[in-house]
Copies of this chain bind each other. A is one copy, B any other.
């Protein structure tokens, strides 16, 4: 930051009394629920002077310079406050800043996206899950949160093509068909069973546990994520449609 070469406009080198943008952090929290990709949203407060009262929005809020050591900690704090989840997959998505996105003035938000398993998540009362259908959300959101969410969905889909990210949406133990189904729910298209198995198994990211999932048909091997939780990058995408 701060490579201000000489005073520009209201920037007086050495003085810091020029106007500063509002600074916030927002979190796009994804999960698979009811066999669908869903996103966690909150309702804007209705108080005096609040922008977008009662409109749906991403969970987030102002950076607290006293409480938050850095941006990632701020995002983790907001995620925890809403869901109780403490160690999710949390990745920075980007930032959005402009004079017009918030009626209260020039503002910039740092957006993160998180993936959490279905079981995790004891929600606070003001947060609710909303399904992503046909790659987008039906509801309108406050601020430019619709743009941010669209960007998050696109990023998630892109990365799911060539990474192991969906593993972070899984419960501790799962079968290969379970995992494939999650890939398919996120990508919204079917994948080849044999190619999928080959790819995942040769990626050395999961290991079998000594149990089978039993059901009304042939039992399936249960797996869990290996210790090192870094996502795996494949050298090919799944063959794209068309």
Q: Which residues does A use to contact B, with CB under 8 Å?
A: 1-6, 8-11, 13-14, 16, 18-26, 42, 44-45, 47-51, 57-71, 92, 94-102, 104-110, 126, 142-143, 145, 235-237, 239-240
Contact = CB atoms under 8 A, between A and B. Distances in A.
Given A19-B65, A26-B1, A64-B11, A94 B97 contact: no
A78 B111 CA distance: 23
B18 A20 contact: no
Contacts of A68: 99
A74 to B, nearest CB: 8
B51 A13 contact: no
9 contacts: A1-B24, A2-B102, A2-B104, A10-B64, A20-B21, A68-B99, A70-B97, A70-B98, A71-B95
Contacts of A58: 3
A110 B100 CA distance: 18
B98 A95 contact: no
A131 B89 CA distance: 35
Contacts of A24: 1-4
A235 B2 CA distance: 38
Nearest to A104: B16
